[in-house]
Amino acid sequence: MNETKTNFNWYPGHMTKAKRQMQEDIKLIDLVVELVDARLPQSSRNPDIDELGKNKFRLILMNKNDLADPKATEGWTRYFEEKGYAVVCLDARSKNYMNQIHNVIMDVCKEKIERDRKRGIKNRPVRAMVVGIPNVGKSTFINSFAGKAVAKTGNKPGVTKGKQWIRLNKNVELLDTPGILWPKFEDQTVGLRLALVGSINDDILNIDELAMELIRYLKANYPGALAARYDIEEENEDAQVLLAIAKQRNCIKNGGELDYAKAAILVLDEFRSGKLGRISLEMA
pLDDT for position 11: 56
Exposed/middle/buried for residue 31 (C-beta within 10 Å: 0-12, 13-18, 19+)? buried
Q: Is the pLDDT of residue 115 over 70?
A: yes
Q: Between 118 and 158, whose confidence is greater?
A: 118
Whether residue 137 is annotated as binding a ligand: the answer is yes
pLDDT for position 23: 83
Whether residue 27 is annotated as binding a ligand: the answer is no
Whether residue 46 is annotated as binding a ligand: the answer is no
Whether residue 179 is annotated as binding a ligand: the answer is yes
Whether residue 64 is annotated as binding a ligand: the answer is yes
Whether residue 135 is annotated as binding a ligand: the answer is yes
pLDDT one-digit tens code per residue, 57-107: 999 999 999 999 999 999 999 999 999 999 999 999 998 998 999 999 999
pLDDT one-digit tens code per residue, 227-244: 999 999 999 999 999 999
Exposed/middle/buried for residue 171 (C-beta within 10 Å: 0-12, 13-18, 19+)? middle
- 160 half-sphere exposure, CB direction, 13 A CA radius: 28
- 264 half-sphere exposure, CB direction, 13 A CA radius: 17
Q: Between 153 and 55, whose confidence is greater?
A: 55
- From 7, 14, 10, 8, select the one nearest 159 (Cα to Cα): 14
pLDDT for position 3: 46
User: Across all residues in the chain, what is the average pLDDT?
Assistant: 86
When pLDDT is cut at 50, 70 and 90, the band that residue 151 belongs to is: low
pLDDT for position 229: 97
Task: Domains for the chain: give ranges and CATH numbers.
Answer: 13-176 (3.40.50.300), 206-272 (1.10.1580.10)
When pLDDT is cut at 50, 70 and 90, the band that residue 15 belongs to is: low
Q: Is the pLDDT of residue 150 over 80?
A: no
Whether residue 5 is annotated as binding a ligand: the answer is no
